[in-house]
């Protein structure tokens, strides 16, 4: 796991009470550690954070993956999606008056000390989670991955530069099409003719020798296809660029293999309206002349994501989720849980004697989005309807694909998956 | 007031209980009116709304402008800014489980019936508030006004088109500079040499005869300069375009005089992360070839702001604020309150015998942002510090201007202004 050996790994060893501040003017006292360091790449006035050195405190798993209140539905939506129950409870308790500040996070000046502490901690926790090296900038932006479809070529290449797109689903295809406005993208592989059920091996790819970057979508939300290994750009000066919207922070990632990682928050790490960009700093500062200022990474990096008013409440929510993921033990532990949940559903599908079918090749099945169909397709509407009655909602597949789709992001409790599988078996018994 | 005579005025006559839904599947029953109509420009599946016809129900002023809890500060921040207390309480009560849906608004699929009801109602209420004619589209976007600085020229003109910018402060200047990437903007007037304290009369302007549009910033947040009357484009085919970020929904506006109105939400109508665009429909559909898809008004208009995942929670919050403004009696009533609050502060400044000074010409002083200095400038830091001790925060002026600034948006209670003025008088008595 990248985090375990990163220079930021100390941040993993946090006190579970560290966020329970009563007074925002005493931030530095809230981190009960023994040595002092500053948050990397911190905005404006860095706030000192005290770290634990080498002792390992007891980290309790307080994540909502273990709890589920009776009044909650199991929400299998593809995003916006289920959030950790304890994170929602914390946001609820702080909404009206954030930690004695006398105001809501939604009312705070983005340049005030309260919000600066929020965004700096969110960044520090994300760096700890993913083991993000110091030569990478972390940006909190707006506009979703779709805005990044334009921002990537506008920032990383010139209009005549060749770049490669490996398209394994609808989102990669959208990224490819948008790039055509701003550079000369080459489609080096597409899974479209096989209905986006596969990912090619590196050997199958014919990369452009001088491609400025190779773009992939790490997990295709609609088609349920996920990279398990990442291709390496053949051009030594090329960069791997990944849209990780729907599997961001769902597993460990070696960030150093990427030039740019970007992700909409609304799958695994927060509400919609926040887009996170992780970019190697040497790629910043070469935007094309016609780049709108809000799509220029340099502007945002120089201003620590505070050039304009950022989506403050969304960033706060992401911070609460990052804290929760750290308290679960980091992404290595999160990944284990996600594998277990996905295995349970895929096994149920594969052991159904064809009653349920997942079209995706087994080796690249997504841990996040499980698309499946019924052999008797006329029963699919009934399946969705009956599941909803049992408080399992948003199981209808994407309109472009049909069938069903169970999105089981980090915050989906194991109990939700178990309930779904029990329902699938019961449904099969009644309709086989 | 435009709203009173608009075809949407019926929506003003709402039942104060209409939002107290226990079950989101019973939307249409929640609107206790007698005739049926659909929400204009509604997304995907319109939900029917029942209206009151011509009777005028009692509208109680339940707005938080009348209430202020002891644990709240008076937040004079320029944005993100104070929100109505009752809106925050409602958001708090619904955060964990929105109206029996079993999920938070932050977890809802943006294509599910629950969120569709939220965004459609937000749009309908905004149309009612501003009396927006049906030939105008309302878009809920991301990226702040700064993104619109690029989107306006990219959508409304061609690269060689002449367009005019009337610059009365820093924000208008930023808009002018961004436009230089995408067209040939002409600076027809700038208040920079007079430190942005004035607005010219229409007669002082030398408009380009063939300008595609005339751009203004309706209220300059930093300099406290606000248009009281709007200039008319001399080109009969030209369009008035206004950045209304910091006075949006603070007073009545005749929308039909504008081609485009845009506003970041984080001053008067919601949290940061939502940008509202009101655009006459005939201006949609001519974006320049190199327009990023997320900056293309046509994409968003055709998809009812759901082309990509919108900032759902922010839109929900805006909807709660719109509801609150309607319950106050609409923008005519809101404007009265804002005038009263502003008068109290400006009078205190003007009657201080020069102890306090507002540099802005009286006829164009902003009702929203009141910049002022102390004759003894060495006391300014002490003023800000003492005020903060008395729970009046964020009074320091913008770093580019200095002095103090009291932002008194819709949600600032009269009591906050009265407390500030009492403090100003006491401070003067102690330091005169």
Q: What is the pLDDT of residues A378-424, one digit of tens each?
A: 999 999 999 999 999 999 999 888 999 999 999 999 999 999 999 99
User: Which of A125, A164, A173, A243 does the annotation list as catalytic?
Assistant: A243
**Per-residue pLDDT tens over the stretch B70-94:** 889 999 999 999 999 999 999 999 9
Distance from CA of A76 to the nearest CA of B (A): 9
**Nearest CA to B370 among B392, B348, B390?**
B348
Q: For A328-345, what is the mean pLDDT?
A: 98
CA–CA separation, B114 and B54 (whole Å): 29
Model pLDDT for residues A356-384, shown as the tens digit of each residue = 999 999 999 999 999 999 999 999 999 99
Question: Which of the following is catalytic: B98, B164, B173, B267?
Answer: B267
Question: Nearest chain A Cα to B307, which residue?
Answer: A146
A314–B313 C-beta distance less than 8 A: yes
Nearest-CA distance B102 → chain A (Å):
4
| Burial classification of residue B303, based on how many CB atoms lie within 10 Å of its CB (0-12 exposed, 13-18 middle, 19 or more buried) | middle
- Report the pLDDT value the prediction gives residue B84, as an integer from 0 to 100: 97
Residue A5: per-residue pLDDT: 35
> What pLDDT does B67 receive?
64
B contacts of A274 (beta carbons < 8 Å):
273
What residues of B are in contact with residue A72 (Cβ under 8 Å)?
Answer: 97, 102-103
Integer-rounded Cα radius of gyration of chain A? 22
Is residue B171 annotated as a catalytic residue, yes or no?
yes
Contact yes or no for A89 and B96 at CB 8 A: yes
Q: Is some CB atom of chain A closer than 8 A to the CB atom of B429?
A: no
Token pair in block for residue A362: 């087994």
Q: Is A171 a catalytic residue?
A: yes
User: pLDDT value at position A329?
Assistant: 98
> Annotated catalytic, B267?
yes
Q: Tell me the two tokens of residue A20.
A: 């329970």
Q: Which class for B50: exposed (0-12), middle (13-18), buried (19 or more C-beta within 10 A)?
A: middle
B412 interfacial to chain A (CB closer than 8 Å): no
Cβ-proximal residues to A83 (8 Å cutoff; 6+ apart), any chain: A270, A271, A317, A321, A411, B104, B106, B107
Q: What is the pLDDT of residue A66?
A: 52
A272-281: per-residue pLDDT in tens?
Answer: 999 999 999 9
Q: Is B16 on the interface with A (CB under 8 A)?
A: no
pLDDT tens across the length of chain B (432 residues): 333 333 333 333 333 334 333 333 333 333 222 233 334 443 333 333 333 333 333 444 444 445 688 889 999 999 999 999 999 999 999 999 999 999 999 999 999 999 999 999 999 999 999 999 999 999 999 999 999 999 999 999 999 999 999 999 999 999 999 999 999 999 999 999 999 999 999 899 999 999 999 999 999 999 999 999 999 999 999 999 999 999 999 999 999 999 999 999 999 999 999 999 999 999 999 999 999 999 999 999 999 999 999 999 999 999 999 999 999 999 999 999 999 999 999 999 999 999 999 999 999 999 999 999 999 999 999 999 999 999 999 999 998 889 999 999 999 999 999 999 999 999 999 998
Q: How many CA atoms lie within 13 A of A131 on its CB side?
A: 19
The H helix count followed by the E strand count for chain A is 10, 16
Query: Looking at residue A148, what is its pLDDT?
Result: 98
Q: CB contact, 8 Å: B90 with chain A?
A: no
The residue from B125, B171, B198, B341 that is catalytic is B171
A268, closest residue in chain B (CA to CA): B107
* Whole-Å CA distances, B152 to A126, A307, B291: 35, 20, 11
Asked if B132 has any chain A CB less than 8 Å from its own CB, the reply is no
User: Are the Cβ atoms of B290 and A79 closer than 8 angstroms?
Assistant: no
What is the reported pLDDT for B37?
33
pTM summary value:
0.88
- Can you tell me whether residue A52 is helix, strand or coil? coil
A243, pLDDT greater than 50:
yes
DSSP classification of residue B232: -
Query: Hey, which residues 102-121 in chain A have their CB within 8 Å of chain B?
Result: 102-104, 106-110, 112
Provide ipTM, 2 decimals: 0.88
Q: Do A293 and B143 touch (CB under 8 A)?
A: no
Q: Does B393 touch chain A (CB under 8 A)?
A: yes
Length of chain B: 432
Q: What are phi and psi of B49, to 5 degrees?
A: -120, 135
Collapsed DSSP state (helix, strand, coil) of residue A137: strand
Q: Smallest CA–CA separation between B202 and chain A, in Å?
A: 31
Give yes or no for A71 touching B (CB within 8 A). Answer: yes
Instruction: Give the Cα separation of A123 and A136 in Å (integer).
Output: 12
B209 reaches A (C-beta below 8 A): no
B413 touches chain A (CB under 8 A): no
Contacting residues of A for B294, CB less than 8 Å apart: 143-144, 146-147, 150
Q: Report cis status (omega within 30 of 0) of the bond before A80.
A: yes
Q: Measured between CB atoms, does A48 come within 8 Å of chain B?
A: no
Q: Residue B305: is it exposed, middle or buried by C-beta count within 10 angstroms (0-12/13-18/19+)? A: buried
Residue of B nearest to A270 (CA): B106
Q: Percentage of chain A surpassing pLDDT 90?
A: 82
Q: Do B312 and A146 touch (CB under 8 A)?
A: no
- Tens of pLDDT, residues A131-183: 999 999 999 999 999 999 999 999 999 999 999 999 999 999 999 999 999 99
């Amino acid at each position: 796991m990248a985090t375990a050996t990163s220079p930021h790994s100390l941040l993993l060893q946090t006190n579970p009470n560290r966020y329970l501040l009563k007074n925002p003017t005493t931030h530095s006292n809230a981190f009960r550690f023994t040595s002092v360091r500053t948050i990397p790449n911190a905005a404006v006035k860095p706030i000192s954070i005290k770290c634990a050195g080498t002792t390992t405190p007891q980290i309790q798993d307080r994540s909502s993956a273990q709890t589920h209140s009776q009044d909650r539905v199991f929400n299998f939506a593809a995003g916006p999606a289920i959030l950790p129950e304890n994170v929602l409870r914390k946001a609820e308790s702080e909404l009206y008056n954030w930690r004695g500040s006398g105001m809501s996070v939604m009312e705070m000046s983005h340049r005030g000390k309260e919000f600066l502490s929020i965004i700096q901690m969110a960044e520090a926790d994300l760096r700890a989670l993913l083991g993000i090296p110091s030569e990478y900038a972390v940006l909190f932006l707006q506009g979703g991955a779709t805005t990044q479809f334009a921002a990537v070529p506008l920032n990383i290449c010139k209009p005549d530069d060749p770049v490669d797109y490996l398209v394994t689903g609808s989102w990669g295809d959208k990224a490819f099409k948008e790039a055509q406005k701003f550079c000369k993208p080459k489609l080096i592989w597409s899974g479209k003719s096989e209905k986006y059920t596969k990912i090619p091996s590196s050997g199958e790819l014919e990369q452009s020798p001088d491609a400025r970057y190779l773009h992939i979508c790490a997990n295709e939300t609609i088609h349920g296809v996920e990279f398990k290994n990442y291709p390496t750009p053949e051009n030594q000066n090329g960069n791997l660029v990944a849209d990780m919207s729907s599997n961001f922070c769902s597993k460990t990632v070696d960030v150093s293999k990427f030039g740019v990682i970007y992700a909409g928050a609304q799958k695994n790490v927060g509400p919609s309206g926040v887009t996170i960009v992780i970019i190697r700093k040497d790629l910043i500062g070469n935007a094309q002349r016609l780049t709108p200022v809000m799509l220029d990474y340099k502007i945002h990096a120089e201003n620590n994501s505070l050039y304009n008013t950022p989506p403050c409440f969304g960033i706060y929510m992401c911070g609460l989720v990052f804290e929760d993921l750290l308290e679960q033990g980091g992404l290595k532990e999160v990944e284990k849980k996600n594998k277990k949940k996905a295995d349970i559903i895929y096994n149920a599908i594969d052991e159904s004697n064809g009653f349920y079918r997942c079209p995706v090749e087994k080796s690249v099945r997504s841990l996040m989005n499980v698309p499946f169909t019924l052999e008797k397709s006329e029963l699919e509407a009934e399946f969705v309807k009956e599941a909803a009655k049992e408080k399992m909602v948003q199981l209808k597949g994407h309109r472009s694909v049909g069938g069903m789709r169970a999105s089981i992001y980090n915050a989906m409790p194991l109990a939700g998956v178990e309930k779904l599988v029990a329902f699938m078996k019961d449904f099969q018994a009644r309709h086989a």
